[in-house]
Amino acid sequence: MLKVCNIKKTYKKPPVTALAGVSLEVMEGEVVGLLGPNGSGKTTLIKIINGIILQDSGEIYIGGRPVKNSREFANFLGSVFDTERSLSWGLTVRQNLMYFAHLKGAASGEVKAKFEYLGEIFDLKELWDRRVATLSHGQRQRAAIATALAHDPKILILDEPTNGLDVENTIHLSGIIRSLLEKKLSILISSHNLGFIEEVADRVYLMKQGRVVGNVRLEEPEKQEEMRYYHIYLSYDATHEDARKLELAGFRVIDISGAMLKVEVPQSVPASRILEVMSEIGLIVRSVLPVKRNLMELYRRVVLQNLPPGEVDVNESASRCDG
């Protein structure tokens, strides 16, 4: 639904290369997280997709068509960059929805028809006729996202939507985002909140210094590839001889560190079988723990330590820009 190919952007004053060739893709009905340190280019990319600033080079495609004039595609996109500035504070929540949906070309009747649905999922019933200036930050955030959806866009883009939200509102927002998928929306969310992204996103792009350094699917471990990963903790420091025994028993050993061995095991092998094998080959095991895909671990590895994402990387979208 949304595809970004090799976008480059250097700001002139001061001269900063914000994007050094970024490619990514968001499919229909997919929630994609955009993660990366401060200054890695997330907001710049989101502004370019929305036509707020122009890229130096690179293409954006919406629904398979290249975007030459961002106005032409304005009705496809709903975005919230900066909650505090994305609504008109003197207007009520209802008036905001009307006003911004009109700007995107929606008719009043269409917007009114959406009030009930949006009021329900964003919990706006008590807020409809309140001026935005009188709302709390979390209430404004809900109103801003509802406003971004009032013209029925196909793509929703949120820049740091959990900033300033308490835990309850963050959980509420993650529920809202998942429920929007019924509408087959494509959703791109930049965030520093790894727990939130882990919960809402199907896939994440990791950015660093204006580049994508990882593209990783975040499915639950049991839905992933055919392999599972376990950390096996022995009662003593593991040796290469222990690893060799495990390999002979059919497990691939990926890592040895102190008392821990990381092994790859086919999905079909139950955890109980691993324990049996350990005792058959004479290893004294303290515990066997499944390795879960952990976004913080992944972030540490890819963004902070410059290591490859490993077995979970999926690089299909960047390569599709080449042709």
Q: In the set 22, 26, 33, 40, which binds ligand ATP (CB under 6 A)? A: 40
Q: How far is the CB of 49 from Mg ion (least distance, A)?
A: 13
Q: For 291, which DSSP code?
A: P
Q: Is residue 200 within 8 Å of residue 178, measured between CB atoms?
A: yes
Residue numbers 41-60 binding ligand ATP by CB under 6 A: 41-44
* Minimum CB–partner distance for residue 38 and Mg ion (Å): 7
Choose the contact partner of 296 out of Mg ion, ligand ATP, none; CB within 5 to 8 A by kind. none
- Alpha carbon 54 to chain centroid distance? 24
Min dist CB 10 to ligand ATP, Å, is 9
Contacts of Mg ion in 27-56 (CB under 5 A): 42-43
Window 136 to 195, contacts with Mg ion (CB under 5 A)? none
Distance CA 68, CA 219 (A): 35
Q: Which amino acid is at 193?
A: N
Task: Write down how long the chain is.
Answer: 323
Give the integer Cα–Cα distance in Å for 306 and 317.
Answer: 21
Among the listed ranges 33-41, 91-99, 252-260, 274-282, the one in contact with ligand ATP (CB under 6 A) is 33-41
To the nearest whole angstrom, how small is the minimum distance from the Cβ of residue 37 to Mg ion?
10
Find the angle CA(308)-CA(314)-CA(320) to the nearest 5 degrees.
Answer: 120
Question: CA-CA distance, 125 to 64, in Å (whole number)?
Answer: 37
Peptide bond into 14 cis (omega under 30): yes
153 binds, among ligand ATP, Mg ion, none (CB under 5 to 8 A by kind): none
- What is the contact surface with Mg ion in residues (CB under 5 A)? 42-43
Which residue ranges make up the site for ligand ATP (CB under 6 A)? 11, 14, 16, 18, 36, 38-44
